[in-house]
Structure 1
Amino acid sequence: MNITKEQIDELNAVVKVAITKDDYKDKVENILKDYRKSANIPGFRKGQVPMGLIKKQYGKAVLVDEVNKLLQDNLNKYLTEEKLDVLGNPLPKQQDNFNWDAENLDFEFELGLAPSFEIDLKSKKAITHYQIVADQKMIDEQVERIQKQYGKLVNKTEAGKKDEITGVFKNEEEGIDKKSNLELDQISNKKAIDSLLGKKAGDVVTLKTKGLFKEDHLLANILGIQADKAENLDIEVTFTIEEINEREPAKLDQELFDKLFGKDVVTSKKELEARIKEDSEKQFEQQADQKLLNDVTEYFIENTKFDLPADFLTKWIQSTGEKPLTEEEAKAEYEKSEKGLRYQLIEGKIIKENDIQVQFDELKDFAKGFIKTQMAQFGQMDPKEEELDNIAARVLSNQDEVRRLSEQLMSQKLLKLYKEKANLKTKEVTYENFVKEVYG
């Protein structure tokens, strides 16, 4: 067997594979001998079928199968030994009137080659790294929410602005019949608020759904309907009041602090506010880091210039899809995936040049940290190390989970690299201003 490469240009090449009869003859003959031993052909005893008949019936199929195995094994070996960085997989060139009966068989494969390019982690223009802080307004709102959540309900005879009203919403035409709890400070429509103020249990109020609540998702929840149905819903519903309650805020005392954080962890309102600030900013850090990762990724894609073997990749997409694609469909598919492919190449080069690796012990520790966080959400604050090890072992036995966790850990490592080496400017903002700047 002889394998040679013809370079077409920087991004395209053709590999030629010449196979002689000596490369496959012995293997094919041995397989056919095995076939002869077990063949059941009418008129012949088992094991006594003439070899000529076996070759006639099975010879071509066995030959094709063995040659394809030779091609696959040796082509992959050649690409590895020659250190060819290929995109996609080698594509066999169409050969009309190919003769499988010839002594020598010649094959050609098209290759799409990865481009050469340089990456400079230090961008010319500094990329913003947001540092989101919890301001006093946010802390005060969170304290108020905690007091409200852990407060007690006091029954009232008439509805006031800060009260909670339990009742039944109805509209026969739309099939709405839902008992819900309504807080007056959730309502944005002044006319609706005025119509509820002063009402008592047993009163019936008609409300218009359009623009009723400050937050759009509340309409679907309170009426018990699908979100798409609630969107732009403009009808009238009746609301029959059953109960009116005022939520008396919980006192900021040691009993509440212990309930929230454990015994004597927090002992004053000042410490509560400090804890809220710390916890909030930890959560904000994840959002800021994701924003930074997205921005650095986008910068590299936009500013790292290189060509791709577009024609080859389009052809490769066309030939390897789950269903047959036309040339136009394959081209459209390539255009959709080009940006992602570019970043895969960029990320791969960054990982290689900076020798970033995910070791199994690191992955196991990462999985245990993830498991510990999940357990804490269900009140298991201090799981034993043996328990974490057992759960991590089960998680890491699933290849999909291994891939998912590896990607997350690699993203963390890349983020650490960018924070150390990229040209960043820190911008301190409140969460409210972060949302305005990032999401408009």
Structure 2
Amino acid sequence: MNITKENVDDLNALLKVTVEKSDYQTNVDKALADYRKKASIPGFRKGKVPMGIIKKQHGRNVLGDELNRIVSEGLFKYVDEQEFEILGNPLPKNDIEVEGDFNNPDTFVFTYEIGISPKVDVKISGRNKYEYTKVKVDKKLVDKQLEDLTRRYGKLVSGEKVGEKDMVLGQFVELNEDGEILEGGVMNSSTISMEFIEDDKLKKELIGKKAGDVVIVNPANVSRGGKDTASMLGIEESELGSISDKFQLTINEVKIMEPAELNQELFDKLFGEGEVSSEKEMREKVKADLVQMFEKDSEKILTRRISNDLIKKTDIQLPEGFLKRWILASQKEPLTMEQVEADFPNYARSLKWQLIQNNIFKSNDMKVEQEEALNYTKSLLVNQYAQYGMPAPEDAELTQSAQQVLTNQKEAQQIYDMLAEEKMTKFFKETVKLDEKEVDYDEYVKIAQDSNA
């Protein structure tokens, strides 16, 4: 077998794969002999069917399978041995027919197209300066966190009137177009949380209501998405499209979250026995935890800023036509070229960032080692145990669990990606100049949500 490369331009090339009869005949003959041994055809004893009949029935398929195997393995080996890198995988050139006769097989020539990965030169140094946004962890933010913590560990008690953060227990009854109870309609008792209602008009209408009061609501406006709406009404999510958007909500009871007291029992629950012994110490601990938590978010914002800038400033040309055809051919779910075209800018941006990352890793001899991935996975598992209030198992068992996680290709890729992102962020913080800027929480949230920030 012989493979030759013909350059179309700097980013596209054709690979011509020439397969001689000597490359495939032995395996084809062996496969046909196996068919002959197993063939059961009336008029012939098992294993004695003439080879001519076997070839007529199976010869073309066997030859096609063997050629596919040889060509695929050959292409993979050829690409792996080259100095250039490709994007995607080789695609059969649809407008060039296979050279060769399947009825009288001898030499075959297959033509594939490839997209060549462009040369990437990333320019980033200590002269580059980027804003490093930090959240101002002030008394207001600490107070809010304390309120959330005391509510989380508080208890529900009966209330007289509906407040902004209360829970409402009531009965939902479906109404018809005339606003009357629909015969045979949906009827279910459930709970809604006032905190999650985003419709300000409806929220205002509910505040102050008491047990026994009736309000007309759209179930979608007092729940959090399809699954939550269906669960609240006691129906399947698939039934939502066939029900009314008007329901009578009769309030049966109002529940108020009574915050937990700032005492030693709460301190021990939150931070471990004896770790905190006063409200002042709790505030200091909460502030430190908030600073640490927001640091991770600040690093993500920084990395996003730098990636946006590098994508914009780094000249990267892509073999777009090839990539679109490859995306169309490689998807498991049916896809049209129109859909590929519509989403291609996002794909191209993601690919450019991947190429930039690869260049930075290669230029700075950065790697994600297997041992790092194992230890990182173990730390993730330890955190999971802690979240459920459980002690982590012995190291041997923990290592075995981490190894099991890494056998899952999807989960392993996510872990390697997270590690790569951490290394990239560390590299940026050590390489570029940081212009630190403190902002209040609300502005920080807006910046974090802005993909262009």
Unaligned runs of 5+ in 1: none
Q: How does 1:206-285 map to 2 (within 5 A)?
A: 224=232, 238-239=250-251, 247=258, 251-285=261-295
Output the CA distance in 2 between the equivalents of 1:54 and 1:160.
82
Paired residue total: 423
8 Å CA contact 1:284–1:431 kept in 2: the answer is no
2:349 corresponding residue in structure 1: 339
- Deviation sequence 1:334-388 (CA, Å, 0-9, x none): 4452222222222222222233322222122111211111111121256543443
8 Å CA contact 2:19–2:108 kept in 1: the answer is yes
8 Å CA contact 1:176–1:224 kept in 2: the answer is no
Shift of 1:305: 1.6
8 Å CA contact 1:165–1:244 kept in 2: the answer is yes
1:432 corresponding residue in structure 2: 442
**Which structure has the bigger radius of gyration?**
1
Shift of 1:148: 5.3
Output the CA distance in 2 between the equivalents of 1:60 and 1:125.
62
Output the CA distance in 2 between the equivalents of 1:155 and 1:183.
15
8 Å CA contact 1:317–1:334 kept in 2: the answer is no
8 Å CA contact 1:162–1:246 kept in 2: the answer is no
Shift of 1:141: 3.1
Shift of 1:426: 2.0
Moved more, 332-341 or 70-79: 332-341
Q: What letter is aligned with 2:63?
A: L
Output the CA distance in 2 between the equivalents of 1:147 and 1:330.
50
Output the CA distance in 1 between the equivalents of 2:148 and 2:79.
62
2:319 corresponding residue in structure 1: 309
1:120 matches 2:130: no
Output the CA distance in 2 between the equivalents of 1:59 and 1:113.
36
Shift of 1:266: 1.0
Given the superposition, is the C-alpha separation of residues 192 and 429 from structure 1 closer, same or farther in structure 2, using an over 3 Å criterion?
same
1:11 matches 2:26: no
Given the superposition, is the C-alpha separation of residues 384 and 431 from structure 1 closer, same or farther in structure 2, using an over 3 Å criterion?
farther
Q: How does 1:140-219 map to 2 (within 5 A)?
A: 140-147=143-150, 168=170, 173=175, 178=189, 204-205=212-213
Q: How does 1:90-101 map to 2 (within 5 A)?
A: 90-93=90-93, 94-95=96-97, 98-100=100-102, 101=104
**TM-score, with normalisation over the residues of structure 2?**
0.76
1:43 corresponding residue in structure 2: 43
1:76 corresponding residue in structure 2: 76
1:111 corresponding residue in structure 2: 114
8 Å CA contact 2:392–2:398 kept in 1: the answer is no
Unaligned runs of 5+ in 2: 176-180
- Deviation sequence 1:273-296 (CA, Å, 0-9, x none): 110101122222222222223222
8 Å CA contact 1:159–1:165 kept in 2: the answer is no
Given the superposition, is the C-alpha separation of residues 162 and 86 from structure 1 closer, same or farther in structure 2, using an over 3 Å criterion?
closer
Given the superposition, is the C-alpha separation of residues 50 and 289 from structure 1 closer, same or farther in structure 2, using an over 3 Å criterion?
same
1:132 corresponding residue in structure 2: 135
1:359 corresponding residue in structure 2: 369
Name the Cα RMSD after superposition.
4.1
1:350 corresponding residue in structure 2: 360
1:370 matches 2:380: yes
Once the two structures are aligned, what percentage of the paired residues are identical?
34
8 Å CA contact 2:98–2:111 kept in 1: the answer is no
Output the CA distance in 2 between the equivalents of 1:329 and 1:263.
57
Q: What letter is aligned with 1:310?
A: E
Q: What letter is aligned with 1:16?
A: K
Output the CA distance in 2 between the equivalents of 1:326 and 1:147.
53
Shift of 1:115: 0.8
2:2 corresponding residue in structure 1: 2
2:178 corresponding residue in structure 1: none
Output the CA distance in 2 between the equivalents of 1:22 and 1:273.
79
8 Å CA contact 2:168–2:254 kept in 1: the answer is yes
Shift of 1:23: 2.8
